[in-house]
A and B are shown apart, each in its own frame.
Chain A
Amino acid sequence: MDKYTLLALAIFIPLLSAFLCYTFNKPWVRNTVVFVTALIMFAVAGGFVYYLIHSGGKIEISLESLHLPFDVGFIFKLFDFLLLAYIADIGMKHKKPLIVFLSVLQAVALLVFELVGSVKEPHVVFVIDYLSLIMLLLVSVIGPMITIFATGYMKEHEHHQHLEKSRQPRFFAILFIFLSAMNALVMTNNLSWMLFFWEVTTLCSFLLISHDGNEKAVKNGLRALWINMLGGLAFVFAIIVIYNALGTLSLEELLRNRMVSAGLLPVGLGLLCFAGFTKSAQFPFQSWLLGAMVAPTPVSALLHSSTMVKAGVYLIVRIAPVFSGTTLGTMVAVAGAFTFVGASAIAISQSNGKRVLAYSTIANLGLIVCCAGIGSYVALGAAVLLMIFHAISKALLFLCVGTIELEIGSRDIEDMQGLFKKMPFTTVIAVIGMISMLLPPFGVLLTKWLALEAAVKLPLVLICIIIGSAFTLVFWSKWIGIILTLSFHAKYKMEKLPVAMSATMAVLVLAVIFTGVDISMIFNAVVAPFLTESLKGLPETVLNGTNGLWLVSESGRMVGGFSSFYFFMILFLLFLLYPYIFRSSKAELWKPPYLCGANTEEDFKGLEFNAPADTVEHVIVHNYYFAGAFGEANITPWANFIAGAIIMIMFGVVI
Chain B
Amino acid sequence: MGLVKKSRIKSPWVLHYDCTSCNGCDIETLACLTPLYDVERFGIINVGNPKHADILVVTGSVNKRNERVLRNLYNQMPEPKAVVAVGACACTGGIFKDCYNVLGGVDKVLPVDVYVPGCCAKPEAIIDGIMLAASKLEEKAEALKEAKAHA
Residues of A within 8 A of B (CB): 591-592, 594, 596-599, 601, 610
Contact = CB atoms under 8 A, between A and B. Distances in A.
Contacts of B73: 597
Most chain A CB atoms below 10 A, which of B51, B68, B72: B72
Interface string B16-57: 010000000000000000000000000000000111000000
The 5 A-B residue pairs with the shortest CB-CB distance in the complex, in nearest-first order:
A597-B69, A597-B72, A597-B73, A591-B76, A599-B72
Contact of A594 (B17, B51, B68, B70): B51
A594 B75 contact: no
A588 B106 CA distance: 25
Nearest to A597: B69
Interface residues of B, number: 11
Contact of B76 (A594, A601, A610): A594
A610 B68 contact: yes
Contacts of B51: 591, 594
Contacts of B72: 597-599
A610 B72 CA distance: 12
B50 A594 contact: yes
Contacts of A601: 68
A126 to B, nearest CB: 66
- Chain B interface mostly: helix
Contacts of A599: 72
A594 B49 contact: yes
A591 B75 contact: yes
Contacts of A594: 49-51, 76
Contacts of A592: 76
Given A597-B17, A597-B70, A597-B73, 5 more contacts: A594-B49, A594-B50, A596-B69, A597-B69, A601-B68
Contacts of A597: 17, 50, 68-70, 72-73
A616 to B, nearest CB: 13
16 contacts: A591-B75, A591-B76, A594-B49, A594-B50, A594-B76, A596-B69, A597-B17, A597-B68, A597-B69, A597-B70, A597-B72, A597-B73, A598-B72, A599-B72, A601-B68, A610-B68
A592 B76 CA distance: 8
Interface string B66-83: 001110110110000000
A610 B75 CA distance: 16
A596 B68 CA distance: 11
A598 B17 CA distance: 13
Nearest to A599: B72
A610 B73 CA distance: 14
Most chain B CB atoms below 10 A, which of A592, A594, A597: A597
Contacts of B69: 596-598
A606 to B, nearest CB: 11
Nearest to A610: B68
A613 B116 CA distance: 33
A598 B71 CA distance: 10
A640 B76 CA distance: 53
A590 to B, nearest CB: 11
A428 B1 CA distance: 39
Contacts of B49: 594
B74 to A, nearest CB: 9
B127 to A, nearest CB: 25
Nearest to B70: A597
A422 B121 CA distance: 53
A592 B50 CA distance: 12
Nearest to B73: A597
A587 to B, nearest CB: 15
Contacts of A596: 69
Nearest to B75: A591
B46 to A, nearest CB: 16
A601 B67 CA distance: 12
Nearest to B74: A597
Contacts of A591: 51, 75-76
Contacts of A598: 69, 72
Contacts of B68: 597, 601, 610
A594 to B, nearest CB: 6
B75 to A, nearest CB: 7
A594 B74 CA distance: 11
Contacts of B76: 591-592, 594
B19 to A, nearest CB: 11
A387 to B, nearest CB: 46
Contacts of B50: 594, 597
A592 B17 CA distance: 19
A619 to B, nearest CB: 15
Nearest to B51: A594
A597 B72 CA distance: 5
A610 B51 CA distance: 20
B72 to A, nearest CB: 4
B26 to A, nearest CB: 16
A591 B68 CA distance: 16
Nearest to A592: B76
A594 B68 CA distance: 14
Nearest to B66: A597
Contacts of B70: 597
A597 B76 CA distance: 9
Contacts of B17: 597
B140 to A, nearest CB: 17
Nearest to A589: B78
A598 B49 CA distance: 13
B47 to A, nearest CB: 11
B54 to A, nearest CB: 15
A591 B72 CA distance: 10
A22 B72 CA distance: 64
Interface in B61-117: 68-70, 72-73, 75-76
A610 B67 CA distance: 13
A404 B76 CA distance: 34
Contacts of B75: 591
A354 B145 CA distance: 52
Nearest to B72: A597
